Amino acid sequence: MKIGDLKYTAAYINPLLLILALMSKNGFLLWLPVIFSFLIIPILELVLTPQTNNLSIQEMEEKKLHPIFDWMLYLNLVVVYLALLLSARYLTVNELNPISYLGLLFSLSLVLASNGINVAHELGHRNNLFEYSLAKFLLLPSLYTHFSIEHNRGHHLNVATPLDPSTARYNEVLYKFWFRSIVKGYQHAWKLENHRLKSKVGMERYFGNEMILNLIISILYIFLIYNVFGLTILLFFLLAAVISVFMLETINYIEHYGLKRQKNQSGRYERVNYMHSWDANYPLGRIVLYELTRHADHHASTFKKYQTLNSQDGLNSLPYGYPTSMILALWPPVWFKIMNKRISENRDYGY
């Protein structure tokens, strides 16, 4: 391991900023994670150049086996739940004005999305029970525990086709996409589990259903929060969960916007390739999201660990990093003007 590999500790900046703000008495500081992610990073990415350098095969093998990269993911479980506990305590002992309340709400939501759901996405692709279970606990505060089922068995199979609810269509407004992706993604997760268990009989069919287990755990989590902290904190956590899901789905929106797999002569969709995802190689966005922005390689090689993902620069690249792209996606006319031009440069892949 090289000292430069510790760059991924920068992914802790947002939760650390939130924790420091919660330890202070300055309500404005509660906005620091939002300011860092959606103001400072976009400004820095205007002057920083994308990094498209890739690892050699030897470097890839070394990084793949080094445990430090896994432990940097595992630590997020402590970070996320510490942020939740400190937020609950802060709300209990302080009177917040509306500005401070919103700052805490959006900052906690950001931590749940980036250090919770995003890390769960990485761990959910691992083929062992320990890491898959960690992914579930990271998804729990966002009440999105079905994500691993739909994402792994649905999205990766159907990406860039009309069958995938989390692939944004050409000229589809973000706010419409949110509704379709969230509702249909949840419905599809149930279908996937029911299909997996259709050969089972009796109670095994129900006790083995991961969606039923997810529902029970989510209800227990809500019940625990209510009994320990009360209704006010529960409602705050539920709001943070909803906003964190919107943040996740905004990333889903920009990752595959307008891209389409073609059908071959047999009527089947072509294999997923590097042209079916949008990459972004801006360094800060890459680091704080654990290389999620090298998304094309992730879809081409689903089980590659984040530290070994390669750039596919020169194919489908976003003009800005993910944080900036998320902001632009909130303004559909601006987003369409920028991205539709990029899609039109390769009409075979646009809807």
pLDDT given for residue 52 in this prediction: 81
pLDDT given for residue 350 in this prediction: 43
- pLDDT, averaged across the chain: 93
% the chain with pLDDT above 90: 79
For residue range 99-132, what is the model confidence (pLDDT) as tens digits?
999 999 999 999 999 999 999 999 999 999 999 9
Query: What pTM does this model have?
Result: 0.94
For residue range 59-82, what is the model confidence (pLDDT) as tens digits?
888 888 899 999 999 999 999 999
Q: Print burial letters for 230-245: b (CB count within 10 Å at least 16), e (below 16).
A: eeebbebbeebbebbb
pLDDT given for residue 338 in this prediction: 95
* Distance, CA of 116 to CA of 192 (rounded, Å): 23
Q: How confident is the model at residue 1 (pLDDT cuts 50, 70, 90)?
A: low
For residue range 144-187, what is the model confidence (pLDDT) as tens digits?
999 999 999 999 999 999 999 999 999 999 999 999 999 999 99
User: Is the model's pLDDT at 30 over the cut of 60?
Assistant: yes
